[in-house]
Amino acid sequence: MKRNRNGSKRRRQSIQPYTYDQARRVLPYLRSIVGSVREHHLEMQGHQRAARRLAERPGRPDRTTLLAQAEETHAAQAAEERLHAALEELHPLDIYCLDPVRGEALVPFAHDEQLAWFIFDHFDSESFRFWRYQSDPLDTRRPLAAIREDLRGTKAKS
């Protein structure tokens, strides 16, 4: 059995599950933050691609190329910092970004006494159309309509 060498106890991270109504109430903020995450991620990728293309040009780079490459690298780092700052806004809410480009995030809830996730889609008019259990593969999409009555019934019992 491995022991923790520094003697400190391991911390368990607990996730606060949302009810369906709580998840719906956080939608405007979630939509804003996921939009920012997507924007910053795409900006970072664009600057990284531009810097890579400048670096891969054949021949010895001139001063202008070197300056442009350094500028693109700096812009990519700045966009990455903004991306991480936007992602950090989601963590206190226990919401996690699944795919920044597709605008997908996971909002925790409990179903059948298991951890499950509402799948937020930034581009879907319904926002929460699918869900998955924690143990499901990441690409699993279960229709939310099938359990929506159970979710509303759970809130009424609370």
Task: State the residue for tokens 């919401």.
Answer: 95
Counting the structural domains of the chain, the total is: 1
Judge whether 12 lies within some domain: no
pLDDT reported for residue 145: 87
Cβ atoms of 120 and 34 closer than 8 Å: yes
pLDDT reported for residue 22: 94
- Of 120, 118, 121, nearest to 131 by C-alpha is 118
Judge whether 113 lies within some domain: yes
Distance CA 119, CA 128 (A): 6
Judge whether 5 lies within some domain: no
Judge whether 37 lies within some domain: yes
| pLDDT mean for each 10 residues of the chain (158 residues) | 54 81 95 97 97 92 93 97 96 94 95 93 93 93 86 52
Task: State the residue for tokens 């991480």.
Answer: 84
Residue 154: Cβ within 10 Å count:
16
Distance CA 35, CA 101 (A): 9
Judge whether 67 lies within some domain: yes
pLDDT reported for residue 73: 96
- Of 18, 16, 36, nearest to 122 by C-alpha is 36
pLDDT reported for residue 103: 95
Judge whether 8 lies within some domain: no
Distance CA 114, CA 135 (A): 9
pLDDT reported for residue 136: 93
pLDDT reported for residue 155: 44
Question: What is the pTM (predicted TM-score) of this model?
Answer: 0.81
pLDDT reported for residue 156: 38
Judge whether 135 lies within some domain: yes
The whole domain housing 145 covers 20-157
Judge whether 14 lies within some domain: no
pLDDT reported for residue 10: 58
